[in-house]
Structure 1
Amino acid sequence: MAFGQTTLKSFQWLYAPQKTAIIFAFRTLIASYVVLVIALWMEMDSPRWAIMAVWIVAQNSSRGEVLSKAYWIIVGNITGIIVSLWIMASFPQQPILFEVTVALWVALCCWVSSCTRNFRALGMVMAGYSCAIVLFSSVGNPNETFMMAMSRGSYFMLGVLAENFTARLFDLNLHHQAHKKLNDDLQKAVEEGIKSVSKMLDGDDWAVAQSDQLLSSIIGLNNNIEFREREMKGTGHTGAHARAVLASVSGLLVKATGFSIHLKQIQKDVLNFHYIVPLTKSYLLQLLDQLNKGSPLSETLIALNALRWECRQRIADSFYKNLGSPQATNEDYTRKSLNDRILYQSLREILAELDVTLRELSKSRDFNLYDKFKFDIKPSFDFRRAWRNAIRAFFAITLGCLAWEITGWDRGPLFLAFLCMGCARFCLFENATLACWGWFKGACIAIIVGGFYNFLIMPAVSNLNLLFILMIVPLGIGALAMCVPRLASIASTYAFFFCYMLGFANEGRVDEISFLNNALAVFMSGVFALASYRLFFPYRSRRLRRQMRMKLLQGLHHLAQSSSSSLPLAREWVGFVSEAFVVLMRQLNEDRNTSLVKSYRHGNMAVMLIGINIIRLRHMVDHDIMTEDIKDILRVVLRRISMFDGRKAGYAPHARTVMVAHRAIARFRQREFSEKNLAVRIEVSAAISSLILISYALDKNASFLRVKK
Structure 2
Amino acid sequence: MARPSGLAWLYAPSPASLLFAVRTTAAAIISLLIAMWMELDSPQWSAMTVWIVAQNSRGESLSKSRWRVVGTAVGVVMAVLFTALFPQQPFLFLPAIALWLGLCCTVATMVRNFRAYAAVLAGYSCAIVGLAAASNPNDIFTVAVSRSTYIMLGIVVEGSLAALFAINGETQARIALRAKLTSAMDSATDAVAHVLDGGEHAFQRSRALFGTILTINDQIEFTEVEMGHHGSEGDHARAALAAVSVLLSRALGMATRMAALPDEQSDFRATAGMARDLMRDIPPLLAHDEGAANAMVRVRALQDQCRARITAALGEELPPQGGVSEEHMTMLLDRRVLHQALWELLDDLYFALREFHASTRPDVRDHFHFRLPAPRDYTEALHNGIRATASITVASLIWEVTAWSSGLGFITIISLTVGLFATRENPVIATSNFFRGTVAAAIVAGIMSLWVVPAVNDPTTLAAVLAVPMIVGGLAARNASTALAAAAYNIFTINMISPLNGGRETEIAYFNSAVATVLGAGCAVLIFRMVLPFNTDSVRWRMRGRILGDLRRLAASPALPDTRRWVGYSADRMARVVRHAGPAPAPVIEAYLQGTLAAMTIGLNVIRLRHLHARQQLPPSARRPVEVVLRRMTQFTGRYGRTAAMAHAATRILRQLEIRESDIEKRLEMTRAIAYLLVISNELDQNADFLNAQRPYRRVDGA
1:346 aligns with 341
Counterpart CA distance in 1 for 2:587 and 2:36 is: 60
| Alignment partner of 2:627 out of 619, 635, 639 | 635
| Alignment partner of 2:601 out of 603, 609, 613 | 609
1:449 aligns with 444
Structure 1 SS opposite 2:641: helix
Question: Does 687-696 or 613-622 show the bigger shift?
Answer: 613-622
Structure 1 SS opposite 2:208: helix
Counterpart CA distance in 2 for 1:654 and 1:217 is: 35
Deviations 1:138-183 (A, max 9, x none): 1011000000000011001111111111111111221122112111
2:647 aligns with 661
One-letter amino acid of the counterpart of residue 415, structure 2: C
Deviation at 1:111, TM superposition (A): 0.9
Counterpart CA distance in 2 for 1:496 and 1:300 is: 50
Counterpart CA distance in 2 for 1:462 and 1:133 is: 31
Counterpart CA distance in 2 for 1:286 and 1:585 is: 30
Structure 2 SS opposite 1:272: helix
2:568 aligns with 575
Deviation at 1:660, TM superposition (A): 2.3
Instruction: Tell me if structure 1 keeps the 8 A contact 2:292–2:356.
Output: no
| Alignment partner of 1:671 out of 652, 657, 667 | 657
Structure 1: tracts of 5 or more residues without a match: 647-652
Corresponding position: 1:684 with 2:670? yes
CA change 1:483–1:327 in 2 (3 A) is farther
2:157 aligns with 162
1:599 aligns with 591
Instruction: Tell me if structure 2 keeps the 8 A contact 1:389–1:427.
Output: yes
Instruction: Tell me if structure 1 keeps the 8 A contact 2:188–2:206.
Output: no
Corresponding position: 1:538 with 2:533? yes
Counterpart CA distance in 1 for 2:358 and 2:555 is: 36
| Alignment partner of 1:550 out of 542, 545, 554 | 545
Structure 1 SS opposite 2:135: coil
Deviation at 1:631, TM superposition (A): 2.9
Query: What TM-score comes out, normalization by structure 1 length?
Result: 0.94
- 5 Å matches for 1:686-701? 686-701=672-687
Deviations 1:638-669 (A, max 9, x none): 333333325xxxxxx34333222222222221
CA change 1:558–1:297 in 2 (3 A) is closer
Counterpart CA distance in 2 for 1:384 and 1:487 is: 30
| Alignment partner of 1:625 out of 603, 613, 617 | 617
Instruction: Tell me if structure 1 keeps the 8 A contact 2:197–2:273.
Output: no
One-letter amino acid of the counterpart of residue 631, structure 1: R
Counterpart CA distance in 2 for 1:174 and 1:527 is: 40
Deviation at 1:25, TM superposition (A): 0.6
Counterpart CA distance in 2 for 1:515 and 1:289 is: 60
One-letter amino acid of the counterpart of residue 561, structure 2: P
Instruction: Tell me if structure 2 keeps the 8 A contact 1:205–1:257.
Output: no
One-letter amino acid of the counterpart of residue 657, structure 2: R
CA change 1:619–1:277 in 2 (3 A) is closer
1:430 aligns with 425
1:650 aligns with none
Structure 2 SS opposite 1:385: helix
- 5 Å matches for 1:379-418? 379-418=374-413
Counterpart CA distance in 1 for 2:364 and 2:244 is: 22
- 5 Å matches for 1:485-504? 485-504=480-499
Instruction: Tell me if structure 2 keeps the 8 A contact 1:271–1:340.
Output: no
Deviations 1:473-520 (A, max 9, x none): 221111111001221111111111111110110111111111111112
Counterpart CA distance in 2 for 1:336 and 1:369 is: 51
One-letter amino acid of the counterpart of residue 587, structure 1: H
Q: How many residues align?
A: 695
Instruction: Tell me if structure 1 keeps the 8 A contact 2:76–2:126.
Output: yes
Instruction: Tell me if structure 1 keeps the 8 A contact 2:50–2:155.
Output: yes
One-letter amino acid of the counterpart of residue 598, structure 1: E
Question: Does 127-136 or 527-536 show the bigger shift?
Answer: 527-536
- 5 Å matches for 1:192-203? 192-203=187-198
Counterpart CA distance in 1 for 2:360 and 2:152 is: 37
| Alignment partner of 1:474 out of 466, 469, 474 | 469
Question: Does 262-271 or 381-390 show the bigger shift?
Answer: 262-271
Structure 2: tracts of 5 or more residues without a match: 697-703
One-letter amino acid of the counterpart of residue 625, structure 1: Q
| Alignment partner of 1:208 out of 178, 203, 208 | 203
CA change 1:318–1:450 in 2 (3 A) is same
Counterpart CA distance in 2 for 1:322 and 1:264 is: 24
Question: Does 420-429 or 279-288 show the bigger shift?
Answer: 279-288
CA change 1:73–1:396 in 2 (3 A) is same
Query: What TM-score comes out, normalization by structure 2 length?
Result: 0.95
Counterpart CA distance in 2 for 1:387 and 1:286 is: 48
1:16 aligns with 12
Corresponding position: 1:334 with 2:320? no
Corresponding position: 1:702 with 2:688? yes
One-letter amino acid of the counterpart of residue 651, structure 2: I
2:24 aligns with 28
Deviation at 1:73, TM superposition (A): 0.7
Deviation at 1:302, TM superposition (A): 2.8
Deviations 1:7-27 (A, max 9, x none): x61111111111111001101
Deviation at 1:675, TM superposition (A): 2.3
Instruction: Tell me if structure 2 keeps the 8 A contact 1:210–1:601.
Output: no
- Supply the RMSD in Å over aligned alpha carbons: 1.9
Counterpart CA distance in 1 for 2:450 and 2:7 is: 28
Deviation at 1:430, TM superposition (A): 0.8
One-letter amino acid of the counterpart of residue 256, structure 1: A
1:372 aligns with 367
Question: Does 618-627 or 530-539 show the bigger shift?
Answer: 618-627
Deviation at 1:293, TM superposition (A): 4.1
Instruction: Tell me if structure 2 keeps the 8 A contact 1:58–1:66.
Output: yes
Structure 1 SS opposite 2:171: helix
Deviation at 1:377, TM superposition (A): 2.4
Deviation at 1:282, TM superposition (A): 3.1
1:649 aligns with none
Deviation at 1:590, TM superposition (A): 4.1
2:701 aligns with none
CA change 1:325–1:535 in 2 (3 A) is closer
Deviation at 1:328, TM superposition (A): 5.7
One-letter amino acid of the counterpart of residue 601, structure 1: L
Counterpart CA distance in 2 for 1:328 and 1:582 is: 53
Corresponding position: 1:318 with 2:313? yes
Deviation at 1:323, TM superposition (A): 1.3
